[in-house]
Amino acid sequence: MYIVFEGIDGAGKSTQIQMLKEWLEANGFRVETLVEPTDSVVGKLIREILQRPDAETDEVQKILALLFAADRMFIMDKLKDDSKIFISDRSFISSLAYQEPVDWVEQLNRYAKKPDLLILMDLDVKTSVARASGDDTFENVEFLTRVKDNYLKLVDNYTHEIIDANRGVNKVSSDIKKAVAPYLGICPDCIL
Ligand code: TYD
């Protein structure tokens, strides 16, 4: 099973993925976590480019869209192993939400595996700004609002659960367990 976490920056994806992993392991599942961008040479290049002052320009975003699509090809083979659960921090759905135009980005990612379950960590833009960057410029708020709206439209194309990520870590974690349990045949009353 391939479970993907998506959401705007600061939504708490990495913390929640770790908590979900530990809980699934306690329930007897084998779990491997993944992160995009990966630690491949392309992933390293992506991180370097993301630091550039011109990272948000249209030209650099197009370059990034190509690199993100290339980078995720490094993990596609691994996902064929059906003896474990893969939980990924981001996927091609990030590219659909962040880069544009969407039909081109879709083409670039045609060989990317679709998630069996998409968890959207839905966070208010104000909270994202406060938690992640502190950058509350109009452009950034406008950008994050667009990404958040894109996510809310995109999720309907996949088996998904929307989690309210504005609350405390434990409350969010328990909502995620409740959402994931039925997909794995874990009895809802057995959730700790
Ligand atoms: P991430 O490592 O999740 O950010 P953080 O620094 O919060 O841990 O992702 C890096 C940035 O890359 C993030 O702003 C989202 C963006 N991104 C895209 O724009 N498109 C993509 O396809 C992916 C995977 C990430």
**CA-closest residue to ligand 1 atom 20:** 95
pLDDT at 187: 82
CB-ligand 1 contact for 98 (6 Å cutoff) = yes
- The 10s digit of each residue's pLDDT in 47-75 is 999 999 999 999 999 999 999 999 999 99
Please check whether residue 132 is in contact with residue 112, taking contact to mean a CB–CB distance below 8 angstroms.
no
- Number of CB atoms found within 10 A of residue 183's CB: 14
pLDDT at 185: 93
CB-ligand 1 contact for 94 (6 Å cutoff) = yes
- The 10s digit of each residue's pLDDT in 159-175 is 999 999 999 999 999 99
- The 10s digit of each residue's pLDDT in 92-118 is 999 999 999 999 999 999 999 999 999
pLDDT at 192: 64
Q: Which two tokens stand for residue 135?
A: 């950058």
